[in-house]
C-alpha cells in the first residue's frame, strides 16, 4: 500500500517532468534517520522520472550547517536541501535560496497548513516549502493526575489552574523533606520557555527583529516560570537533574508535567512504554494575552532550492513529491506533523490507538496564529547546539539554579544578544 502510494505520488508529480533526461539532482538532509525512511519515496520519484538520479547526503545538524555554509560560500549548494525556520531569514537575506514564488500555485498551497507554509515566505518571496512542522505541547502523566485527584489539563486552563495542579502533584512520598515527584519539570531552552512567553503575548524582539527589547508580557512570563522553581518549589533546579536528559524526566516518572516540542512524542513513547498513561495539552494561555498578541509557537522543517541550481523546475517537482501526497503517514515520526493536510488528518498519522490518544490536538495548534520568534543570529543570542550553554540559555540557567535574580539575567542576555544581533 505504502509503495503504491509513493509510486502514484511520483507519477502525479512526474507527469509534467517527462522531459528530464540524465539529470542528477543533489539532495542534502540534516537527518540521516529520516533520509533512510525517505529512500522509498526517492526511489519512486526516480522511477517516475526516467533519467533522473537523486544524489543524497545526510549528516546531523552540527555538521550539516557548517557543510551547507561552506557549499554556499563556494557556490556549490545542493539543488534541494533542508532549511530550518530558525535560519531561513538569514539564508534568504544572503540570497542563497531560489525564488519559488512563480512555481507554487495558490491551489497547491491550499493543500498545506497555512501557518507552516507562511514561514517559507520572506519579504514576499517564497524561498522554502514546509515538509513537516512541530509545536511544543504540555505532556502530562494521566495516572499521576488521577492519583492526586487533579482534573486533567484542558484547552481553557489558566496559569493559576496549572500552578494549582503543579502544587498538588509535587509530592514528598516518604516525608523526609525531599521532593520525590515534581509537579513540573522546567528547562531554560527555547522549546520549553517560548511557548509560555508567546502564549502570554510576550515578544523578545523589536518589530523589525534587529534588537532584543522584551515587552512586559515576556518579562511576566519569565517571572512566572522561574518562580515555579525558586518560589513555588514545584519544579526542580536543572542542576539537580544534571546527568538525566531533560526530556526523559517526565517519561521516567520523576515529574508529572513537562513542556517540550512535539518531536518528543517518539521519545516519550519509547521510554514510558506501558508503564503509565499520558497525554498532551496546549500550553495554557497567560493572563496578559489578548486576541491580538497571543500566539502559538510552532515552526516548520522545510525544503529549499539552491539559488544556482540549473534544475529549479525539477527540484520543485522533487520537493512537491517529498512534501506532498506521495508520502506515507508512517514516514513522519511521532510528533512531526506532515505539512500536507490530508496526510496529517489521516488515521495513519493520528494513531488514535497509541498514546497520546489526543495527537490531533497538534493540528488545532497549527490552525492558530503561529509565531516562531526566530531572527538573524538567533542561535547566537538564544543559544543552540554548541552555543547551548551561552546567551539567553546560560542566563536563564543561572536564574533557575538560584544563582542570579531574573532582572540581572535579563539585563545580561539583552546586552549580549544585542551585541550578537549587531554583528
**Site of interaction with another protein (CB under 8 A):** 65-66, 69-70, 72-73, 94, 96, 238-244, 377, 379-380, 384-390, 393-395, 397-398, 401, 403, 416, 419-420, 423
DSSP code string of 219-253: HHHHHHHHHHHHTS--S--GGGGTTS-HHHHTTTT
**Collapsed DSSP state (helix, strand, coil) of residue 31:** coil
d(CA 30, CA 81): 9
d(CA 392, CA 264): 22
d(CA 353, CA 343): 17
Q: Minimum distance between the CB of residue 384 and another protein, rounded to whole angstroms?
A: 8
Is residue 249 within 8 Å of 255, Cβ to Cβ? yes
Q: Minimum distance between the CB of residue 109 and another protein, rounded to whole angstroms?
A: 29
CB within 8 A of 75, min separation 6: which ones? 308
Closest CB to another protein among residues 124, 243 = 243
Closest CB to another protein among residues 10, 241 = 241
CB within 8 A of 410, min separation 6: which ones? 214, 219, 222, 395
CA 363 to chain centre: 14
Planar angle of CA 357, 359, 363, nearest 5 degrees: 150
Gyration radius of the chain's alpha carbons: 22
Closest CB to another protein among residues 6, 204 = 204
Question: 3 in the Ramachandran plot: left (φ > 0), alpha (ψ -120 to 50) or beta?
Answer: alpha
Closest CB to another protein among residues 301, 395 = 395
CB within 8 A of 102, min separation 6: which ones? none
Q: Minimum distance between the CB of residue 397 and another protein, rounded to whole angstroms?
A: 5
Closest CB to another protein among residues 65, 276 = 65
d(CA 423, CA 420): 6
Closest CB to another protein among residues 345, 401 = 401
Q: Minimum distance between the CB of residue 237 and another protein, rounded to whole angstroms?
A: 8
Q: Minimum distance between the CB of residue 422 and another protein, rounded to whole angstroms?
A: 10
Q: Minimum distance between the CB of residue 88 and another protein, rounded to whole angstroms?
A: 14
Q: Minimum distance between the CB of residue 205 and another protein, rounded to whole angstroms?
A: 17
Closest CB to another protein among residues 145, 413 = 413
**Collapsed DSSP state (helix, strand, coil) of residue 100:** coil
Cβ neighbours of 298 (radius 10 Å): 26
Q: Minimum distance between the CB of residue 329 and another protein, rounded to whole angstroms?
A: 34
d(CA 106, CA 412): 45
The span from the first CA to the last CA of the chain, in angstroms, equals 52
d(CA 409, CA 261): 25
Q: Minimum distance between the CB of residue 92 and another protein, rounded to whole angstroms?
A: 12
Q: Minimum distance between the CB of residue 192 and another protein, rounded to whole angstroms?
A: 16
Closest CB to another protein among residues 33, 240 = 240
Closest CB to another protein among residues 312, 379 = 379
β-strand pairing of 278-281 with 136-141: antiparallel
Closest CB to another protein among residues 53, 245 = 245
**Collapsed DSSP state (helix, strand, coil) of residue 82:** strand
Closest CB to another protein among residues 10, 179 = 179
Placement of cell 510552532 in the chain? 298
Cβ neighbours of 45 (radius 10 Å): 28
Residues in the chain: 423
Q: Minimum distance between the CB of residue 199 and another protein, rounded to whole angstroms?
A: 26
Amino acid at each position: 500500500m505504502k509503495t503504491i502510494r509513493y509510486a502514484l505520488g511520483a507519477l502525479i508529480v512526474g507527469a509534467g517532468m517527462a522531459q528530464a533526461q540524465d539529470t542528477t539532482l543533489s539532495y542534502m538532509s540534516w537527518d540521516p534517520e529520516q533520509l533512510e525512511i525517505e529512500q522509498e519515496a526517492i526511489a519512486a520519484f526516480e522511477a517516475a522520472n526516467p533519467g533522473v538520479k537523486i544524489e543524497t547526503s545526510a549528516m546531523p545538524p552540527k555538521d550539516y550547517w557548517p557543510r551547507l555554509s561552506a557549499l554556499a560560500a563556494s557556490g556549490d549548494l545542493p539543488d534541494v536541501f533542508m532549511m530550518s525556520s530558525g535560519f531561513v531569514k538569514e539564508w534568504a537575506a544572503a540570497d542563497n535560496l531560489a525564488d519559488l514564488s512563480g512555481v507554487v500555485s495558490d491551489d497547491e498551497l491550499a493543500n498545506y497548513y497555512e501557518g507552516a507554509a507562511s514561514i517559507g515566505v520572506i519579504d514576499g518571496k517564497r524561498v522554502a516549502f514546509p515538509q513537516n512542522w512541530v509545536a511544543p505541547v504540555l505532556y502530562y502523566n494521566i495516572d499521576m493526575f488521577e492519583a492526586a485527584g487533579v482534573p486533567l489539563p484542558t484547552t481553557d486552563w489558566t496559569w493559576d489552574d496549572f500552578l494549582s495542579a503543579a502544587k498538588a502533584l509535587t509530592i514528598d512520598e516518604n516525608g523526609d523533606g525531599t521532593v520525590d515527584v515534581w509537579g513540573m519539570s522546567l528547562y531554560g531552552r527555547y522549546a520549553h520557555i517560548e511557548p509560555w512567553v508567546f502564549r502570554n503575548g510576550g515578544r523578545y524582539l523589536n518589530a523589525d527583529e534587529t534588537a532584543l527589547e522584551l515587552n512586559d508580557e515576556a518579562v511576566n512570563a519569565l517571572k512566572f516560570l522561574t518562580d515555579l522553581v525558586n518560589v513555588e518549589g514545584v519544579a526542580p533546579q536543572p542542576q539537580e537533574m544534571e546527568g538525566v536528559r531533560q526530556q526523559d524526566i517526565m517519561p521516567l516518572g520523576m515529574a508529572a508535567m513537562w513542556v517540550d516540542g512535539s518531536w518528543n512524542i517518539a521519545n516519550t513513547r519509547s521510554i514510558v512504554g506501558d508503564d503509565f498513561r499520558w497525554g498532551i495539552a496546549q500550553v495554557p494561555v497567560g493572563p496578559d494575552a489578548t486576541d491580538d498578541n497571543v500566539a502559538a509557537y510552532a515552526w516548520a522543517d522545510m525544503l529549499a532550492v539552491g539559488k544556482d541550481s540549473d534544475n529549479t523546475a525539477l527540484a520543485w517537482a522533487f520537493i512537491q513529491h517529498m512534501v506532498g501526497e506521495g508520502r506515507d503517514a508512517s514516514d513522519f515520526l511521532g510528533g512531526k506533523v506532515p505539512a500536507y493536510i490530508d496526510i496529517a488528518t489521516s488515521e495513519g498519522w493520528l494513531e488514535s490507538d497509541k498514546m497520546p490518544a489526543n495527537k490531533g490536538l497538534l493540528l488545532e495548534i497549527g490552525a492558530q496564529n503561529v509565531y516562531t520568534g526566530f531572527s538573524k543570529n538567533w542561535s547566537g543570542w538564544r543559544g543552540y547546539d554548541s552555543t547551548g550553554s551561552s546567551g539567553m540559555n546560560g542566563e536563564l540557567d543561572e536564574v533557575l539554579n538560584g544563582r542570579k535574580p531574573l532582572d540581572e539575567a535579563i539585563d545580561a542576555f539583552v546586552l549580549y544578544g544585542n551585541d550578537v544581533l549587531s554583528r
